[in-house]
Amino acid sequence: MEQLYGTGVALVTPFKQDGSLDLDALKKVVRHSIEGGVDYLVVLGTTGESVTLTKEEKKRVVETVILENNGRLPLVIGIGGNNTSAVAEELKSTDLTPFDAVLSVSPYYNKPTQEGIFQHYKVLALASSKPIILYNVPGRTGSNILPATVVRIAESCPNVIGIKEACGDIEQIKELIREVPDGFYVISGDDITALPTVIEGGIGVISVLG
C-alpha cells in the first residue's frame, strides 16, 4: 500500500471560543496540509481529540475532511478504544469507502496483557472492511505492544498491514523492524523518531507537526 509511504499528517480538530466545531478552520487546515506537500491525511486521530468528540461531531469532521480533500490525498481514519466489541461495531457501521486504512489505538486505561492486545486486534481485523494500522503509544495508553505481539498479529491477521509506533524507544523500534514480516509497514508516530525509524527501514511518519 504505497499510499502510506512518506509523511501523513494527523489533523487537528479546530474549535470556536464557544466550544463548537470550527469547520471553516478545519477546511483551511486540510488545504494547508495538502499545499504543504504531505502524502496522506489522518482524521480523528489523537491530535484530532477524537476521544472527546461526540458521535455527531465525528460525523461532521469526517464529512468536512472528505469534501475538502476531494480525492486529492489518501485518507486514514482513526477508530479505536478500550471496548473491543464497541470498536468492532463502529468499524462495521462506519462507511469506510472513502478511506484507505483505519488507524486503531491499542486499548487504553485497561492495561491489557499482550494476549489481550492480540485478541483485541484479532476481533477488529475481522470486523474491518479496510486494512488496519496498529497504533502503539504506551505513554498515553498505559500498555506497550511488544514486537513479538506485533509479529503475532501481523502473521495471524492479514488485514493488519502496519503499525504507527510511538513508543519512543529506538531499540524497540529497531527490534520491531527486524522482526516483522516483509511488507508489514512500520510508521513513526513521533516526529522526533521519524528519521531514525526511516533509517532503520520504516516507511515514514504520521506527524503531529504537519
Residues acting as catalytic residues: 135, 164
Backbone angles phi, psi at 128, to 5 degrees: -90, 135
Give the DSSP letter string of 37-53.
T-SEEEESSTTTTGGGS
Amino acid letter, residue 183 = G
Q: Grid coordinates representing 86?
A: 464497541
Nearest to 84 by CA among 125, 46, 48, 140: 125
Q: Is residue 117 within 8 Å of 107, Cβ to Cβ?
A: yes
